[in-house]
A and B are shown apart, each in its own frame.
Chain A
Amino acid sequence: MSLTNEQLERYSRHIILKQVGGKGQEKILSGKVLVIGTGGLGAPAAMYLAAAGVGTIGLVDFDVVDLSNLQRQIIHQTQDVGKAKVDSGRETIAAMNPDVKVHTYNELVTAANIKDIIRDQDYDFILDGTDNFPAKFLINDACVLSEKPFSHAGIIRFQGQTMTYVPGEGPCYRCVFKEPPPKDAVPTCRQAGVLGVMGGILGTLQATEALKYLLGVGELLTGHLLTYDALSMTFRKVRLPRNENCAVCGKHPSITELFDYEQPTCDLRNTGAR
């Protein structure tokens, strides 16, 4: 691949970086990132990945744009209310950067389809922008079993957290959190609220990890959980050990096939994206 004159200009602030250069920009352009959930986290993440020139972006979401999404899900606009989130996301990206090919999956991720979605374009990196624990554990297990790197993040109120899993290089999400908490044991953004910018901060950190992974530069958040408290404006990087007894990535895993945790049907409207 060689960069066109237009690409040299569009990505000139990348190319001038010694860690990127023309070669690095070509890696980004041939990179394939799957964004699961186009909500608070996935919206800004997908937009920065698109602006950066990630050549193939997959968007997964089964939901439609709701007026209450627009306070933080910046890939969707007021006129998109009622539209499928993946269609709204695709249109925004198309307007941003013609170099990006968008693949949409207008469905809920489940044990039955997630591996096929990941395999569809043989994505290099997966970004978890979902809002619920059954989906977060499913994405973790699917990435561990498919040997794919992914970025986890969560946001609530004025707080956020993120970690990166790379096969063989550190703990997975399940090493830290063994299984989903019971329904309603941990508040959701809908119940507890979330400052709109939290998705921008954490989602953009996730996009940063995806770009670093594609470029092969720097240190990823493997073996670390980065926590952020907006009220005290404090970031903390907590070292995470690997859990040898982890049910999916440990020495003697008990999870070798994907499965779905139960989601009450009344909650299904909430499971697309934060």
Chain B
Amino acid sequence: MKVTVNGEELALEKPVNIKELLVIAKAEQPDYVTVQKNDAFVDHAEFEDTFVADGDAIEFLYFMGGGSR
């Protein structure tokens, strides 16, 4: 099956949940990432119970702040 993560296609051998996908897709700061599946937010509490299916579009949205000096 294939899903897209931040616009890039990713082949998966078996269905995985969001928590596993964060590892497979090498998400930065997985504890603080906002996840969207097919244009809907997925709560952190639901990461383990939410599985991705063929054709799903997943977005990892990251905090971007910075530092002045």
Contact = CB atoms under 8 A, between A and B. Distances in A.
A146 B36 CA distance: 28
25 contacts: A132-B65, A132-B66, A153-B64, A154-B64, A155-B64, A156-B65, A161-B61, A161-B62, A175-B41, A176-B34, A177-B61, A181-B32, A185-B32, A186-B29, A186-B32, A188-B66, A194-B66, A236-B6, A236-B7, A238-B36, A241-B36, A241-B40, A241-B41, A274-B65, A274-B68
B69 A159 contact: no
B58 to A, nearest CB: 11
Contacts, number: 89
Contact of A133 (B7, B36, B62, B65): B65
A191 interface: yes
B33 to A, nearest CB: 10
Nearest to A178: B34
Interface residues of A, number: 43
Interface residues of B, number: 20
Nearest to B6: A236
Given A185-B29, A241-B39, A177 B68 contact: no
Interface of B: 6-7, 29, 31-32, 34, 36, 39-41, 59, 61-69
3 nearest CB pairs, A to B? A188-B67, A154-B64, A190-B67
B interface, over-half SS: loop
Interface in A126-169: 131-133, 136, 153-156, 159-161
Given A153-B64, A155-B66, A240-B36, 16 more contacts: A131-B67, A133-B65, A156-B64, A160-B64, A161-B62, A185-B29, A186-B32, A186-B62, A188-B67, A190-B67, A190-B69, A225-B61, A238-B59, A269-B68, A270-B68, A274-B66
A159 B31 CA distance: 19
A63 B65 contact: no
A185 B65 contact: no
